[in-house]
Amino acid sequence: MLGRAGTIAQVSTSNGGVPKLPVFQAFVSSEGLEGDWQEDRRHHGGPERAVCLFSLDIMRALNGEGHPIAPGTTGENLTIEGIDWRLLVPGVVIEAGETQLEITGYAVPCRTIRASFSDLNSNRISAKLHPGESRVYARVLRAGVVKPGDAVGIRS
């Protein structure tokens, strides 16, 4: 690891839909977080989108713009703080808690997360419109447990 670049601020799961709610810890496998489910399995979940990650630092900036976004409200599983989000591009491998994850792509904003935005426009976190400010998906290279406070770092 390139050192401790960030921390897991919240681990979130749901029975389907948003918001995803905080949990003390979760086991992460190639199928995602234990106890988590997505209603739309065509566009969410599966091995290539097993984990959704988002930045607490970006959420705080969005709060400053007047958006009511909070951890879990946009459907992310891991809310991470203190990492340069622009570095999380497809192909990058990160260590998060006991897991090793490879970023596979950007999560396209959908209408189910619109309540997180003051104008109900979830495109505020579109990778196409706002590069470096979107949620990302990851596949699991090494399964394990994640919990708030765990270190997150980019592999060298």
CATH at 23: 2.40.33.20
Report, as an integer, the average pLDDT of 5-14: 96
Collapsing DSSP to helix, strand or coil, 87 comes out as: helix
36, part of any domain: yes
Range of the domain at 53: 6-154
Q: How far apart are CA 34 and CA 31, in angstroms?
A: 8
Q: For residue 119, tell me if it sits in a domain.
A: yes
Instruction: Name the CA dihedral angle for 148, 150, 154, 156, rounded to a multiple of 10 degrees.
Output: -170
Q: What is the pLDDT of residue 8?
A: 98
- Model pLDDT for residues 26-78, shown as the tens digit of each residue: 999 999 999 997 655 555 567 899 999 999 999 999 999 999 999 999 999 99
Q: Indicate the number of domains in the chain.
A: 1
Rounded to 5 degrees, what angle do the CA atoms 15, 21, 22 make?
130
Which residues contact residue 4 at a Cβ distance below 8 angstroms, ignoring those fewer than 6 apart?
151, 152, 153
CA atoms within 13 A on the CB side of 30: 3
In a domain, 1, yes or no: no
- Residue 96 within a domain: yes
Residue 61 lies in a domain: yes
For the CA atoms of 92, 52, 71, 42, what is the dihedral angle to 10 degrees?
Answer: 150
Which helix (H) or strand (E) segment holds residue 8: the answer is: strand 6-13
In a domain, 60, yes or no: yes
> How does residue 2 score in pLDDT terms, banded at 50, 70 and 90?
low
pLDDT at 4 over 70: no
